[in-house]
Structures are given as structure tokens and as C-alpha cells.
Amino acid sequence: MSIRRGRNMLLSPGPTNIPERVLRAMQRAAIELHSDELVGLARSCLDDLKPIFRITEGETFIYAANGHGAWESALSNSLSPGDRVLVFETGVFGEAWAGMGQSLGLVPEFIPGDWRHGIDPQAVEDRLRADKNHDFKAILMVQTDTASGITSDVAAVSEAIQSTGHPALFMVDAVASLAATDLRMDEWKIDVAVGASQKALMSPPGLAFVAASQRAMEHSDKATLPRHYWDWRRRLDPEAYMWFCGTAPEHLLFALREAIDMIQEEGLENIFRRHQRLADAVRAGINVWAEAGAMELNALVPREQSNSVSAILVDERYGAPNVRDYCEKHLNTSLGGGLGRLSGKAFRIGHMGDINEHIVLGALGSVELGLEMCGIPHGKGSVTAAIATLAASADRAEPPLAAD
Amino acid sequence: MSIRRGRNMLLSPGPTNIPERVLRAMQRAAIELHSDELVGLARSCLDDLKPIFRITEGETFIYAANGHGAWESALSNSLSPGDRVLVFETGVFGEAWAGMGQSLGLVPEFIPGDWRHGIDPQAVEDRLRADKNHDFKAILMVQTDTASGITSDVAAVSEAIQSTGHPALFMVDAVASLAATDLRMDEWKIDVAVGASQKALMSPPGLAFVAASQRAMEHSDKATLPRHYWDWRRRLDPEAYMWFCGTAPEHLLFALREAIDMIQEEGLENIFRRHQRLADAVRAGINVWAEAGAMELNALVPREQSNSVSAILVDERYGAPNVRDYCEKHLNTSLGGGLGRLSGKAFRIGHMGDINEHIVLGALGSVELGLEMCGIPHGKGSVTAAIATLAASADRAEPPLAAD
Amino acid sequence: MSIRRGRNMLLSPGPTNIPERVLRAMQRAAIELHSDELVGLARSCLDDLKPIFRITEGETFIYAANGHGAWESALSNSLSPGDRVLVFETGVFGEAWAGMGQSLGLVPEFIPGDWRHGIDPQAVEDRLRADKNHDFKAILMVQTDTASGITSDVAAVSEAIQSTGHPALFMVDAVASLAATDLRMDEWKIDVAVGASQKALMSPPGLAFVAASQRAMEHSDKATLPRHYWDWRRRLDPEAYMWFCGTAPEHLLFALREAIDMIQEEGLENIFRRHQRLADAVRAGINVWAEAGAMELNALVPREQSNSVSAILVDERYGAPNVRDYCEKHLNTSLGGGLGRLSGKAFRIGHMGDINEHIVLGALGSVELGLEMCGIPHGKGSVTAAIATLAASADRAEPPLAAD
Amino acid sequence: MSIRRGRNMLLSPGPTNIPERVLRAMQRAAIELHSDELVGLARSCLDDLKPIFRITEGETFIYAANGHGAWESALSNSLSPGDRVLVFETGVFGEAWAGMGQSLGLVPEFIPGDWRHGIDPQAVEDRLRADKNHDFKAILMVQTDTASGITSDVAAVSEAIQSTGHPALFMVDAVASLAATDLRMDEWKIDVAVGASQKALMSPPGLAFVAASQRAMEHSDKATLPRHYWDWRRRLDPEAYMWFCGTAPEHLLFALREAIDMIQEEGLENIFRRHQRLADAVRAGINVWAEAGAMELNALVPREQSNSVSAILVDERYGAPNVRDYCEKHLNTSLGGGLGRLSGKAFRIGHMGDINEHIVLGALGSVELGLEMCGIPHGKGSVTAAIATLAASADRAEPPLAAD
């Protein structure tokens, strides 16, 4: 393979660009497990995840695991064998979560989707109203499906659920959206939400997060799915060693602490605005490419287009994998490929976490060059369009800089 | 607190001293999950764990988890609800493992021990012979219990099991011994062994390892404990994404790869010899302290004294925690404390992983100073004794260096 | 100041983007000064600089210093008080070097330039032919002036010198060009060339390099400028401690070694081509901006436009510093400012060292956004133009990737 | 060579043990040379060196260079060709400094010493009184000679000079003592003092420091030795670029800043006390070895025994280099060798910078094992003796920890 020079531009939708500060925080010896420093660090991470999940009561848990581990924590702590759960498809992850439920002994009902639209709140309401006996013990949704680039409206789904008075637990997979798109556990009456370190949390993969409402904690007392490593109750022990059911993943916590510091410095509202603005720029660029008719953004409804990741459908005559391969091998630019039913039909650009204007502009430029090299018809000028979008939305708080 | 200068001397029995090379290996950006580099790295780690477990057939698994996660993997993949398992106590971890079995729906029979002796192979044989109906589906033992500093004789236990022809799966917790003390899965007919990254594997905590024999793999097809994240079968998928049931813990794998490289460079036999020799030196030092009658090595039988960690019992009049506190606060030396029934009665010196002569001598010197400062009666000259031990066992392969 | 997210895009023309590998190489303890490892490392760096300077005979020297230190080494080792030296201006550094000569007791004759053209070989020839008595002991030129973005034609100047038979030493400042633009000491009969670590050598600042021909080494025996730290002869001692006139700058050498490895892996010819191609793309973008009449590339003659750095003159009504400030504060993009007579009138984009397509495209996009935000009239579509340039010059060695 | 496991114990008297915090501070991208961050960082380092040199008026300078560079700065800025300077020998560095003076055009008068005693203040006074015409323009002394382990009494020499009213500039090489042994420029009327980063400043090698009194600064206006890179006046320019005569050695400054932070946190007085106490422990250990008659501490007068480094003379029948080789190759412990006239006759233990009790005890233990393995007669129990010394001098501020 040819030499690849310059930093790799990681446009994968997870893991993402890790800030230098976060990487540097891991560059240290291990410390004693019971030391004041480690206990304090772990406590602060657990506590500081709460405002990120926008939960005040309830509990947060950090696992040495990935997002799938967080799912298992969510399910196994709050449900019992044979429980029915309602799952909605907006991409690959709803189905995967349902599959896990099945492995664990639950009975998922899977509401299929076309991967190009978010969850329809009306469909949620209708299904729940039909469940007169309250057989569903939990409703599972994915806020942002990384495969499809669809962000469903959690608030609207929540409202639909509330309107029916259905008592099922409301669980949200926020792995790809946490700290990129607003999620309000308290306000939206979410019972369990799950996240992971390697997306908008800007940290290395290896940590998974679960936040559980008071109601979910109460359910866990009655839930009978067998569990130990994932067990919430055990992890609420006053002794820090139990918080991780054994040895804490120290270096990943060092990294997480630094990432949370950065999030606190910027502020969640600013972070959401930044993601919105940069994602708008990416979409402006994609729409330019789309003009030639050979590709288009997968998510059809503008307000459902994810601020974390964009999936671009490519006419199969032209081979979406080609552009991804070219970018990887020749441009040191790593894109996401098509997953599941989009396999071979799409490529994905991640734009969450530690990103800014030049990353987004470089990404579009790099991909446009890739499209050119692969002979895939595309409109030209994605970066020009993105610049216009960014200029229009730039913060004008500071006095104009132009000469007069 | 006073300023602590100089590197912290980490004599905790896990996490341990991480080599600079290993830490440095983590100092890099994340990479695309499906990249050839990551897939190759993960594959090589999985493969290269086999000779460390001394298993040829069978499978190895790497989890984003800690040792407790590895236990859960071992149990949930090979057993079914209501299965009886036989567990032996040599410290705190046998009981903990049994407790997990109970959480998961197994029925453990717990054979208590006095924490000062290893497992008695005869007791194993007797109990198994008494189990005429082969009710026990698994036998669980801890090779080295970190709390007691006891290393049981896995080969002898294996022989005892074999002698009875009992078909139960033989599972060994090698978390504190793997790559420090010999473990031969093939030869000793071990069905499942578990390890973790942060002990003699010299890596940051956050990875857990499981090795399963062909027989264990076959059992997993029939085992009905619910499982998903831990599921072996799912992790044997050809697609690398499944090897970790989702996103791989990349940075910990970067570290592990480097640590395995170092293990391969030194060679397991050399590593075992080094641990033996350095542990002998530590014990020589402890025995000097013991001369004053206020403390002694917890492990009573020399061949059961662990090469990974030494627990030192201190006369309760003198307060074992004092010396640990003093070393931590004043000497920047982190010891392990007494766990479980040894809480408040012992301190522990870890001596596994990336250690050498000067670490061991500095450790003894530092603790001896701590004993002195805490007014705990002790014989003096631990380092002198350790030097004599090391000199006697030094490799004489090179020509004598003395003057002519 | 507002939070700046994402990596800083360092488009300064030195220091430059340091590869992760190079940074990581510094992440280690110091080692014993006389250890085989350090001696071997230093020797290999000294030796491997030779092919980078394209010198076979002669000597290379590495200083704990910056480029100015290398100048002082060049002058003080080969000249004597009162010696006349001929210096050409193509930007700020010719004058600075002449100034240093004056400080050291030399008598520089300074041939002014307009900062928009390289050295005129005819002028060199004319001036040397007029120097019948061979009063000039050295001719000093800067290959690439970082302030003006001008690269003079070293081969042509060399030819001009050779044509006159003038015996003056020929010295070239290659700080901003070494390993970005070809420099052939042997072939072009260069007597002394100087470089530094923080430009195309991709390393942290703090090391300076000098390469001296055999003829220069011979001159050093007769040269009487006082010197010690810089003294070549002293640094040729067999003992490694003398190579650095005292303690070696170990960590910078660890970094340099890694950077040289990367240079060797890619190959100098490939590196030059990469710089040419990427610089062409940058210039294509700048020319788009120039269409609105408010700015232009400073270097007027295409073949003198540097492959390391581009200086862009901005109509003073619009304030070049504004765009630089905006990019720094709002876009986390660091540009170079105007130096010397270009102060306040230009900004500079560095494009040397560890750069690739996406960096160049992101840079243009980022600056174009800055121009927009500062209200500086500019043509739009710099990135589109750059993409066209890159596509036209891309390596077609691999089979076309387009679908069929 | 055999595998060396565990961290290298670096007992070289420079470079020394670099704290993790300091190394980590270098793990970041370069930043723009004129950025507020770099300018502020450089300014703070320059300013914060003043209290370390205990100078209030006057100026500090930081060079990309090593200690020899700092010497050249001291001489070339304050003296003129032909100036006579008085230099005292206490080891290898006085002579080296004199040699540099000669290279630069000064006329050194060298007062020889036996390497086992510090400078005799009476000899200074006598020589100066004899210099009726005040021919000497500067008096050069080394506070701690790294080769001999001798620390001369700077205050006493200063008093001797003051008593004569001789106007020569008083220059002190504090490279091996700065931040380990007290140096009071103001109080002791020192005109120029020099230091370096890689000794008790706990940083990587590559930075040299010079502090100059107001009187020295005034001399620099009249001094006519040619200089440019070293020139103090040029480095006082308001523009930060000039502070380093060109590009700043950014990463070494990142490291230095962190090291200065650590020095400020601990406090100079505490640092001096720590060095004294740990050096006393090392000497207690050496004296035990000396009992067998085959070795002894080189420095004969207790108050002249350096707190930075100890040189141990070994009976030539036994080969000092043997123990050093053995420790290096077999114990991963790096000692200093004999320099100059002690070459082959001594080994040295560095004990400055980021050291503490366990490093010192591990060092003695390691060397004692080396002596044993090399068959060099030595008293046994160096660590026991060192522990007694440390226990006797430990801070008793906290309540006794003994049980009651």
C-alpha cells in the first residue's frame, strides 16, 4: 500500500476524533485501586454524567464494556424472563437491540421501518393503545441510528407514550447522540438511557454508560433476569471497588474525566448548536453532490437528519464502497461504510464529537476528490456550499472584522 | 497532604506497573473499526493469547470488561440454570465467584478453606468421588488468590479430577497468575481459564480474557444460561465487529498488543523464572521482618506462596493499615491492603508483571522504612537478605565480572 | 475567548504538523548519556541526514539550537573576522543572516531584492565576475524564504558561481525547504547547508542541522572566528558526548529518528512530488480568491513559488491580519502572518511536512470561510479548484476505481 | 543482550528521572510561534526562573542548547577578547569551562585542585589580592562538579571575593546544583549563573538557562566578544520571537513549564531539604560498602559532599566499570561512570531531581547486588543504614502512626 501521510481524518461515526487532551490524560501509570484519587475520579465521572443525560434523580453507571454492554445492562436490570418489549426500527440498531432481548429471554415485538424515516409517534401511540393489558414492559428506541443517520424525535415519542398512560419503561439508546443531540431524561420521562465513550463523548472506546430513572431503579428490585456484572444494585455499594464490579478501567476513566471537563467548559447547549451548524454544512455539501442524480442523503425528512452522522445513498451502478476505499487508501480519510441493508449502497460521514469547521470542510473536500477519482457523477462545490452555510450561521457576537 | 515526589511505586497486586512501551502504544488516535489494521491487531491478540494460556485447540476471547466479566463469560457460556458447581476457597475470590454463580442461577457448593493453604487435591478427589451422579457440572478454582497470596497446585487438582473420571468442566481463574505462574490448559485439561489485562499482562485495566477448550465450546452449544454480550458463539463470527460484540476497545488493544510483544520477546519460561526469583527475594525480606514476631507471611506452605503477591499478616496490636498509609502518604509507595477476612490484619506486596531487581529491593527498603516509622517491631535487613537470594540465583551464564 | 473545538489546524510555516508517531517517540524516560542506545541513535541520525542533504562526503552536525544557531555554525566555522560575504535578499532571512554575519565580525554585502522574485543567477554571476580579487569568502543564499514564499533556484545560482570560477564558499539556508524541495549538495557544489527540525522534518523545534562539504571542513581548519559550542572539529571527536558539545537533546533526537524513518519510508522523490502537488492545489485555490482583485500570491514567477509556504498579499484596505485573527480565534486554524515588509499586508499558509490532501482542502476551505467572515472580497470555490488540480495530478498507478 | 524488564532506574547524574507529568506535557502538537499561548508560556518560564536562581533584578535567558551553550552565553556576553579569567578546578567542568574561554579568545588562569576538595576561599582571596591591577575580569566557579561529586561553598567564595573588593564578574556554573542545592544570586552577589533542564529541573535535556545580574547586563554593553545566537541584548527585545533568537523550542518549554510548576508546588526550601536527606541516606549506604576497604566516597569533606551526585572511588584492582556494566546490563540500573581523571576508577550515583525514598533505597540495593555479583569487596547492609538515616530525619510533623 502506498504511504499515507498526514493525520488520518477519522470520519467514522465512532470511534471519533479524540482530543489531544483526552489522549494525553491516559499517558500515566496505573494507580492503586482504592486510592482517594481513583475513588474521587470515579465518583466525579458518575456524578457528572447526570447533567449530560439531563437526569437529576436516578443513577448513572459506567461499565468497562461497549454500547452493547449498556443495552444488556438496561434490559437485564429492569425486566424479567418472558417480558414483552416493543422495539422500533429506524436502522440497524433497533433490530440488534431486539435480538439481544431475545437472547436474554425477552419477547420483542419489532415494528419495522424503512430506514429513511424516524419513528412515527402516532404509530407508537396506536400500538400502545392497542395493548390494553399492558403486556409491553418496555419500549425501546434508538435516538440516532448510526447506520441510517436517522434521528427520531424522542420528545414526540415520549409524548405519545404519556398520552396513552401506558406504564412500560421507556428506554432510549443514545449511544450515537449523547452530547451531540439533546436528550432530556427527566423532562421526557425516559427510564433508561444508554451511551458510550467513543462517540460524541470524544473518548477511546471501552466504556459504556447507563442512566436509570428512579422508576427504573425500583423496577430493578423486582426484575428477575439473571445478572451480576451488569447488576445496578451491586454497583450502588458504597465501596468504590463495587462500582465497576471489580477493577476499574482506570485509563479510560482518566480519558473520560478529561472529556467531561471539555464538555463542561463548552456547555451542552453550545455543543448541540455546534453539531447542528456543522451537520447543516455537511448536508449542504451532500446536497451539491446529489445534484448529479447519483446519490442522495438517506434520511428523507430534514428534521430527522442526524447531527452525528450522515448516510449517503449511492446509485448502485457507481459503487459506494469505491469512494470509501479510495478515501481510505489514497486520502488517509476514513469514512463509514453502509451497514445492514445499506451494505454496498451507502457510505457514511461521521460528524460528531470533537469537530469544527476545518474538519467538516476538509472532509467534504476530501470526499469530493474521492468521488471525482472514482468516476461517480456528482455536483461540484460541496465546500463552497458548506462555507455559505457556515458563514450564514456564524456567531456574530463579536464586532465585524471587515475593514472599513 | 504533603507533596509526593518521584514516581509512585505501585506495589498493588493489580493494576501493576505498566511498561512505558505499553503506555506509549495507547498514545494515538482511534482508527476506523473495520480497518485492516484494527482487524489484524485484534486477530493477532486473540491468537497470541493461546500460547499464553498454553492452549492449542479451543478458542480465546477478549472482552471490554474486567476479571469479573471474564468469570461471567465462563459461567454463562457453559452452564445452565440450576447447574451445581463446586468451588474451593483459598481467599476472597473463590467465594466471590461462587456468589456470581448464585446470581446467575447456578447452585454453588462452596468448600471453605483457611486462607493460609491452597486447595487440597485429596479433598477435591474425595468430593468428586462422592458425587456419584455427577451432579457437579463445573469445578471452579482460583490459581492465585490475590487476597491471600496463595497459589494452589492446578496440576495436582487436575490430576485429582482426572483420577475420578468426573465429567465436570474444570475452570480456573488465572487473573492474578496468568503470565506469572505456569498454567497449562491443554496438559492439565482445563476447560475454561480466565485472565485480565492489569496483572502480569502489564496493561491498563479494562480487558478480560477467556480461553475455552474444545470441550467447553461444545458445552456452550447446550448451555442455556441467557447471554448475549458474553456469548462465545456470537463472538466467533468471521466479522471482526462481532469479536467484541460491538465496538472494540481499541486503545486497550493497542496496549495489549505491545504487552504481548514484550512477553514473546522475553519468553514465558523466562518470565516464570523471573517471577519465581524475585518473589523468593521478597519472601526472604519478609522473613527477616518476621523475626521480631509481629508479622509473618500469610501463606504457610512454601510451594503455595504466590509468585504474584505476598500477603503479610501483622499482629493486630500494630495495625497493618498504618504501614500501608504511611507508605502511601509519605513514601509514594502503594501497597495492597488486607481484603475480606484479612481486612485490617494484613498488607500486601504485589510483585508481578513488569518488575525487576531494583523494584523489589526498593519495595522492601521502602516498606522496612514504613515499618520503622510506624513503630512496628521487625527484623532489620530485609534488603540485605533479598540481595543474598538474588545473588545466589543470578544467571551466571556470562563470564564472571570480577577483576582478575 | 470562545472555546475552540477540534484539533488546531496548524498552517504555520514552522513549526508544522508533527506526526503522531514522532510525538509518541518522545514519550519515554531519558536514557543514560553514554548508553549504546543513545550513541547509536545519535550516530544514525547524523548519518541519515546525509542523504537528506544529498551529500556523500563531508560531515553533518546536529545542534540543540534553532535555525539561527545553524547559521552561526555555518559562518563561525568557515570564516574569519573581516571576511566579506555576499548575501542575496528574497525575503526576511537573507537580511537576517547578513545581520548575524555583521554581529560576528564579517563584512556582508547585501544585494537587495523585491521579495517577489528569487535570486537572479545573472546578478550573482555579474557580481562575482566583478570581484576580481576574490574578496568574497562566502556566498549566502536562502533556498526558500519563509516570509516571502519565494524559492530561488539553487542549481542555477550554483551554475552561475561555477561559471565564474569564484572560490567563495557556497552556503544555502535550507531551513524551510529541506525535505520539501530538492537540495543537492554534492551535485550543486554547496559547501554548507543548514536546516532545522520543525519544518519539513516534521519534528518539534529545538534541533538545527548543518551539512558541510569536504571543502568547507578544510576551510574550518583555517577559519579564525572564535567558536566553541558550534565548533565542527570538536564535534567530530569519536566520543559521542562531544557530538553535541555536552549533553545530547535526547527527546528531540528520539523524535528526529522517527521522522527520519518516515522520510526513508516515503522516499525523498515521493516527498518532493507530494509537496509539489499539494502546493499546486493550494495555489489553485489562492488564484480563485485572487479573482476578486483584493489579494494575490506574493511570489510572481510560478517556478519560484515555494512548495513549503505561500504568502498571500492582501489589499491593505481589507486587513490581512483580520483573516488571520478570525481563523485563529474562530476556526482553530493557525496561519502565518506577514513578516518584515509584509507585516500587516499578507498572511501565509504553510504547506510543508506531514501534510496531505485533506489538510490542504480543509485549509483552503477554512481560510475561504475566514475571508467571507472578514468581508474581504474573494473569488469563491478555492476548494473546487484545488480538487481539480489534485484529481489531475493523482497517481493513476492503481486501476481505475470507477464502476463498470 | 538479555531482556531488561521493569523501568530503567536512571541514576545518571543528568539526564535524570523525568516526572510523568513533565513527559506528558510534551505530548501535544506544536503551536503557532506568535500565539498568545506560546508567548505567555515563554514569558512565564523566563520570569519563574528568577526565584529559582534567587535573583530579583537582572535577567534570565533560556536557550535551545545544553549547559555548554549556557557557558558560552555567560562568557561571550560579558567579556572581551583577551580578558583574563580566573578558574578553579574541583572536577572536570572547571577545566572545560576554561577551555571554552580559551577557544573564545579569553585568557584563563586555571587554579588546579585535587578533585577531592572544594574551592578554598582563602586561595581565592589570596589570588585576587595579588591581582593588584584587577586584570581578572571574571571569576569562574562550578558549584557542584558532576564528575567529582564536590560542592564548593559559593557563599564563602563570594565572601572571599567581596573581602578583596575585586571588581571581576563572579560567574557560577550551577548546572548540577540548581534546584537541588541553594544558590542565592542576589545575596551572594553572583553576576552570572548557568543551569540546564536535565538535572534537578527534571526536564528533558535541550534547554540551558542563564541568569545575569544588573551589573552583568551593564558589562554586556561593553563586552566585545562576537556573539549573536547567545546575545543577551537581542533576546530582550519585546517581540517573543527574539527571546529565543528564532523559533522557540516549544516542546521543551511545555516540559519546563510543568517542571517549574512542580518546583513551585513543593517549594525550594523543601526541595533542598529533600535532596539533603536523600543524599545523606545514599552516603550512609556508601559508607557501609566502604567498610571493606575497597571503595570510598570521592569527596573527602562532608560539607562538600554533593547532594546531587556521589562519586565512589573503587580500588583499581576491582574495576569500577564492572559494577556499572553489570548494573546496566543485568539490573536495568544506569549509573554514571568515572569521568576525566576518575575514568575507570569510579562510578557515580546521581540523586537529584525527582527522587524519593524508594528510589534511593532501590538504588543502593541494586548497586549492592551489583557489587556482590562483580566480586568487589564491600560491607553489606547499605539499605539498612540508609533506612536508619531516613527514619532519623523523617518529618515528624504528623502524629506518630504507631499503634497504641
Distance from CA of A206 to the nearest CA of B (A): 4
Residue A241: helix, strand or coil by DSSP? Answer: helix
Q: pLDDT at position A1, please?
A: 41
Residue A296: helix, strand or coil by DSSP? Answer: strand
Distance CA C41, CA C253 (A): 8
Check CB contact under 8 Å for B29 and C20: yes
Q: Which amino acid is at C17?
A: N
Distance CA A187, CA A171 (A): 14
Test mutation, C273, C369, C371, C382, chain A, max A CBs within 10 A: C369
Q: pLDDT at position C238, please?
A: 96
User: In percent, how much of chain C has pLDDT > 70?
Assistant: 97
Is the separation of the CB atoms in A235 and A69 below 8 Å? no
Q: Which three cell numbers stand for residue A380?
A: 461540484
Closest alpha carbon within chain B to A106: B226
Distance from CA of C28 to the nearest CA of B (A): 6
Q: What is the radius of gyration, based on Cα positions, of chain A?
A: 22
Low-confidence ranges of chain A (pLDDT < 70): 1-2, 396-404
The answer to whether the Cα torsion of C62, C64, C66, C71 is positive or negative is negative
Neighboring chains of C (3 or more beta-carbon pairs < 8 A): A, B, D
Distance CA D346, CA D348 (A): 7
Rounded-to-10 torsion of CA C322, C328, C334, C340? 40
Q: Which three cell numbers stand for residue B148?
A: 491471600
Q: pLDDT at position A195, please?
A: 98
Taken as a whole, chain D contains a residue count of 404
Q: What is the pLDDT of residues B257-298, one digit of tens each?
A: 999 999 999 999 999 999 999 999 999 999 999 999 999 999
Check CB contact under 8 Å for D18 and C30: yes
Is the separation of the CB atoms in B176 and B146 below 8 Å? yes
The answer for residues whose C-beta is within 8 angstroms of residue B227's C-beta and 6 or more apart is: A103, A104, B76, B77
Which residues are D350's β-sheet partners? D309
Q: pLDDT at position C2, please?
A: 57
Please state, as a whole number, how many other Cβ atoms lie within 10 Å of the Cβ of residue D269: 9
Edge-to-edge strands, sheet with C59-64: C59-64, C207-212, C192-196, C169-173, C136-142, C84-88, C107-111
Distance CA A69, CA A58 (A): 20
φ, ψ for residue D76 (rounded to 5)? -70, -20
**Which residues of chain C neighbour D248 with C-beta distances below 8 Å?**
66, 205
Q: pLDDT at position D221, please?
A: 96
Alpha carbon B266 to its chain centroid, in Å, reads 19
Is the separation of the CB atoms in A15 and B253 below 8 Å? no
Q: pLDDT at position B208, please?
A: 98
For the cut 60, the answer to whether the pLDDT of residue C1 exceeds it is: no
Is the separation of the CB atoms in A123 and A114 below 8 Å? no
**Which residues of chain A neighbour B332 with C-beta distances below 8 Å?**
none
Stretch (H or E) spanning B385: helix B382-393
Q: pLDDT at position C396, please?
A: 59
Which residues are B339's β-sheet partners? none
Tell me whether A4 touches chain C (CB under 8 Å): yes
From residue C387, how far is each of A364, A391, C390 by CA, in Å?
11, 21, 5
Q: pLDDT at position C402, please?
A: 46
Tell me whether A394 touches chain C (CB under 8 Å): yes
Task: Tell me the angle at which helices B268-290 and B357-373 cross, rounded to the nearest 10 degrees.
Answer: 20
Check CB contact under 8 Å for C226 and D103: yes
Q: What is the pLDDT of residues A196-252, one digit of tens each?
A: 999 999 999 999 999 999 999 999 999 999 999 999 999 999 999 999 999 999 999
ipTM over 0.95: yes
Taken as a whole, chain A contains a residue count of 404
Q: Which three cell numbers stand for residue A95?
A: 433490530
Average pLDDT of chain B is 96
Tell me whether A366 touches chain C (CB under 8 Å): yes
Q: pLDDT at position B5, please?
A: 86
Is the separation of the CB atoms in B292 and B379 below 8 Å? yes
Closest alpha carbon to D121 in D304, D272, D311 = D304
Which residues are B151's β-sheet partners? B144
Distance CA B285, CA B363 (A): 10
Q: Which range (C6-10, C297-301, D178-182, D202-206) has the least confidence?
A: C6-10
**Burial track D165-186 (b if 16+ CB lie within 10 A, e otherwise):** ebebbbbbbbbbbbbbbbbebe
pTM for the model: 0.97
Please state, as a whole number, how many other Cβ atoms lie within 10 Å of the Cβ of residue B16: 27
Distance CA A296, CA B121 (A): 69
Q: Is D225 left (phi over 0), alpha (psi -120 to 50) or beta?
A: beta
Q: pLDDT at position D2, please?
A: 57
Taken as a whole, chain C contains a residue count of 404
Distance CA A359, CA A10 (A): 10
Distance CA A265, CA A267 (A): 6
Which residues are A311's β-sheet partners? A348
Q: Is A267 left (phi over 0), alpha (psi -120 to 50) or beta?
A: left
Please state, as a whole number, how many other Cβ atoms lie within 10 Å of the Cβ of residue D344: 12
Over range C19-24, report the average pLDDT: 97
Q: What is the pLDDT of residues C200-225, one digit of tens each?
A: 999 999 999 999 999 999 999 999 99
Position D397 confidence tier, pLDDT thresholds 50, 70, 90:
very low
Distance CA A89, CA A115 (A): 7
C20, C28, C29 ranked by CB distance to B28: nearest: C20
Taken as a whole, chain B contains a residue count of 404
Edge-to-edge strands, sheet with D107-111: D59-64, D207-212, D192-196, D169-173, D136-142, D84-88, D107-111
For the cut 70, the answer to whether the pLDDT of residue B185 exceeds it is: yes
Q: Which three cell numbers stand for residue D186?
A: 542576589
Q: What is the pLDDT of residues D134-175, one digit of tens each?
A: 999 999 999 999 999 999 999 999 999 999 999 999 999 999
Q: What is the pLDDT of residues C270-329, one digit of tens each?
A: 999 999 999 999 999 999 999 999 999 999 999 999 999 999 999 999 999 999 999 999
For the cut 70, the answer to whether the pLDDT of residue D347 exceeds it is: yes
Q: Which amino acid is at B9?
A: M
Closest alpha carbon to A386 in B307, C361, B359 = C361
Test mutation, C22, C24, C258, chain B, max B CBs within 10 A: C24
Tell me whether A246 touches chain B (CB under 8 Å): yes
My answer on whether omega of the bond before C15 falls inside 30° of 0, hence cis, is yes
Position B399 confidence tier, pLDDT thresholds 50, 70, 90:
very low
Q: Which three cell numbers stand for residue C376?
A: 474581504
